[in-house]
Structure 1
Amino acid sequence: MQHVALFISNSPEETFDLGRQWAADVSAGWVIGLMGDLGTGKTQLIKGLSMGMGIEATVSSPTFSLLQEHDEEGRLPLAHIDLYRLESQTEIVGAGLEHFLVSPYGVTAVEWYERWLVAKWHPGQALPESFQPSKGVTLRLVVLSDIGETEREIKYEDFSG
């Protein structure tokens, strides 16, 4: 079992700052899979991550376009994916997003990552063999939960290929 980290955010600004701090951790080949209900801070984390990576473009959730690529600025390319509208792995593959999830060329941040995993996953739980990252890929799985009006519990765990 890997180490599960816990962060309590008391505001959207603290969630943003956590994402900005994560920018120091990431390198080419990282996938950050974010899971949580609507309004738990998935996009806010990615906004902080992108700013920490030096991306100046406005980052918003690509719910309708599915994918925003930021590869002309920042220290690494960032692919921001939102799987909310996709119901299955078949639809994700059909949309041409699979390669971002299994062998990214930069950093991939995925909202609604549970749509890719298929099964429910909880921090501290083993990752199914078929979802283990390939060599050179680091997968950070993140679960965001409401614990108060503005408070969020953010649990995350890293898996390396």
Structure 2
Amino acid sequence: MEFILNSVEDTINLGKKIGSLLNAGDIICLNGDLGTGKTHFTKGIAKGLNIDDPITSPTFTIVNEYYGRLKLYHFDVYRVNDIDEIAEIGFDEYIFSDAVSIIEWANYIEELIPKECIWVSIYKLPEKGPNYRKIIIKYHGNRYDYIKELK
């Protein structure tokens, strides 16, 4: 599934639509260069989960926890130097829980990600304008068939 968006608000709104569909235990893997909008997309997902807290990137803490319709674990593994570092924080207990897990820079720890998950790739489209983004969503596993509702 592919979306072309032209504002931060559109990115947040797409995240909100996804967040409203998510179920306990869902895993969303975000990839994209710095400044593409991964955290804005996460803010939208949080809105869709009825989370009112301000969402910030957990760049230095690795994971932030939020509470709404479902619990949300928001990971940022950009600064993880060693795959063992993420395992030591109890990563498996987080992602195999009844919370929704969002993992920014998931490609850095791809070997730890379960096969069933949603992969979201965000790309800047500078030729169209400074706020244009292409978002590609792929999902693996029947549990995520509900993503088809986004079309």
With the length of structure 1 as denominator, give the TM-score of the two structures.
0.80
Which residue of the partner structure matches residue 46 of structure 2? 50
Q: What CA RMSD, in Å, does the superposition of the two structures yield over aligned residues?
A: 1.6
**How far off its partner does 1:24 sit?**
2.2
Q: Which is richer in helix?
A: 2
Q: State the one-letter code of the partner of 2:121.
A: V
C-alpha displacement of 1:92: 1.3
Matches within 5 A, 1:73-88: 74-88=68-82
Residue matched to 1:124: none
- In the TM superposition, residue 131 of structure 1 has moved relative to its aligned partner by 4.2
In the alignment, the residues of structure 2 paired with residue 88 and residue 76 of structure 1 have an alpha-carbon distance, to the nearest angstrom, of 30
Q: Which runs of 5+ in 2 are unaligned?
A: 144-151
Unaligned residue ranges in structure 1 (runs of 5+): 119-129, 134-138
1:99 aligns with 2:89: no
Q: Can you list the C-alpha shifts for 1:96-132, whole angstroms capped at 9, x where unaligned?
A: 223323x1321001111011115xxxxxxxxxxx842
Whether the 8 Å contact between 1:10 and 1:150 is mirrored in structure 2 is yes
Secondary structure, counterpart of 1:99 in structure 2: helix
Per the alignment, residue 140 of structure 2 pairs with 159
Aligned to 1:110: 103
Helix, strand or coil for the counterpart of 1:93? helix
State the partner residue of 1:132: 115
Q: 1:65: which partner in 2? A: 61
Identity %: 33
SS of residue paired to 2:139 = strand
Matched residue, 1:125? none
Counterpart AA for 2:119: L
Secondary structure of 2:102's partner? strand
Give the 3-state SS of the residue equivalent to 1:23 in structure 2.
helix
What TM-score comes out, normalization by structure 2 length?
0.85
1:63-100 per-residue CA deviation (whole Å, 9 max, x = no partner) reads 011111113xx111111111011033222112322332
Secondary structure of 2:134 counterpart: strand
Match of 2:147 in 1: none
- 1:53 deviation in Å? 0.9
User: Whole-Å Cα distance in 1 between the matches of residues 70 and 40 of structure 2?
Assistant: 19
CA distance in 2, matches of 1:62, 1:109: 11
